[in-house]
Chain A
Amino acid sequence: MKKYILEALGVPENILLSGEKLYKDLLKQLSYESNETFDEDSKFDIGFSTNLQINELNIKKVHARIELDFVDTDKILMAGMGFSPRYTHNIKKFVSMSLQDFSELYISVSLYLPERDVNMSEIIKFLKDEKTEILPSLSHELKHAYDNFKEPEKPLTHIVDYGTTSNFGAFGIKPLRIFFHYLYLATLTETLVKPTEVASRMILSDVNKTQFLEFLLNDKTFKEFMVLKNYTFEDLVSELKSDIETIKTRLRDSDIDVPESDDEIINLILELGYINLTNDKGEMLKHLLISGEEDSLLKFMEFMGGIDPESDKGKYFYKNLSKFSKYQNNPLNFYKNEIKLFNFVGEKMAKKIGKLYEMAQDPEDTHSNIIRKIYVKSNTNEKRT
């Protein structure tokens, strides 16, 4: 597999090998704490030296934050993984800049634990048993790190869009929450990393070219992009109609009058979804603009009295508030336009992930896949040592 083909597929050279090494390094580090037992929410950091090569990026040190939350579950679950770009916000240029030393990687691994004493050895066993889920997620985080290395500067509004969309709870209403999940999937930040995640799953599952179609049709990421491709505003409305009792409950819980007809209820919840998202965006942008202020007196004054609308910062803030709330007069158009974006992104990503076929092993000619050969060889070598 030539380097240029891999890049066209959106999978940087060596990222899958680096993901495997990171996974093994992490397990090794955690094994040093195998006698540790946890009985309450915990958070701890581990740092270790490594050597991860992803194209021209070389990572020499990993700082891993492990977060353990006890919840009502009967088994250990993966809650999430994260990457920290270590941003500093330049409010004169209205950008967030990653000024970190790119040879150091900051990642987080969050787990949900059942409400009882949990030993580290159980956690390690879980991480080993769930390798097919965990390794692709680590490769996904490595791709975030690589993308950040390639483009360390992002507009503040980009951070706001991604942060609010991924965190928006949508009042616990399933169809609305799923809509915002799709919005998160359709962000550039996520679409850039998805081919790497799928490629990692494909290599782990030892998929050859004849098996590729079946693998693809069952892959959760590919399936989600196919849903995005075909999703319609009518689907959203019909799913909300099926969940009308939950919507009524949520409205009553917030002391909001429930309209008579289902159509009015759906229009109202969609409008409220838009209002709350817009408010979250405004809050987050304000937070970034104030927290990034270097003048401590001005920062204090802005914290107490808000941003001066006459200042450059104020003009930027209000200009973006206008953008965030541009559908104020017709909030349904917000959903309709975003769904058009889903359809576009879904189609583009389904095609892009489909091209990973090039990486699958050819059952007739095993020499056709150099990446796979390197992968197998490196693992064989590790076992020998």
Chain B
Amino acid sequence: MLNLIQMKKEPKYKTEWIIDPLISPTDNWELYQKIMESKPLPKIETDYKYKIKPPKK
């Protein structure tokens, strides 16, 4: 019964793509930069977002 339920369950597909950019910074920086700068650059973060505290044992 359990197997049957599991079989009926739809797999939770994620839609991540392995994207290969075809305008590379080494090929044509001016074009690459023009495309990049069409979107605002994110602000530079100056601190680590996560403090590394190992969980208590």
Contacts and interface: CB of A to CB of B under 8 A. Distances in A.
A272 B44 contact: yes
Contacts of B32: 177
B22 A325 contact: no
A137 B23 CA distance: 12
B41 to A, nearest CB: 5
A172 B50 contact: no
Interface in A57-92: 71-73, 77-89
A141 B18 CA distance: 9
Contact of B44 (A88, A110, A254): A254
A254 B23 contact: no
Contacts of A224: 26
Contacts of A322: 52, 54
Contact of A169 (B12, B22, B36, B47): B36
Given A272-B44, A276-B44, A315-B55, A84 B18 contact: yes
A112 interface: yes
Contacts of A82: 17-20
A377 interface: no
B36 A81 contact: no
A278 B52 CA distance: 12
A276 B18 CA distance: 21
A140 B12 CA distance: 27
Contacts of A227: 26
B39 to A, nearest CB: 9
A282 B38 CA distance: 27
Give chain B's interface residue range (CB within 8 Å of chain A).
35 or more
Contacts of A279: 45, 48-50
A328 B51 CA distance: 11
Interface in A164-187: 166, 169, 171-172, 174, 177-178, 181
A159 B37 contact: no
B4 interface: no
B34 interface: yes
A108 B19 contact: yes
A133 interface: yes
B44 to A, nearest CB: 4
Interface of B: 11-27, 29, 31-38, 41-50, 52-56
17 contacts: A77-B31, A78-B22, A78-B23, A79-B22, A82-B20, A83-B17, A88-B11, A88-B13, A169-B36, A169-B42, A172-B33, A174-B29, A177-B25, A251-B44, A272-B46, A279-B48, A283-B49
> Can you list the 6 inter-chain pairs with the closest CB atoms, starting with the nearest?
A309-B55, A82-B17, A254-B44, A82-B19, A279-B49, A78-B22
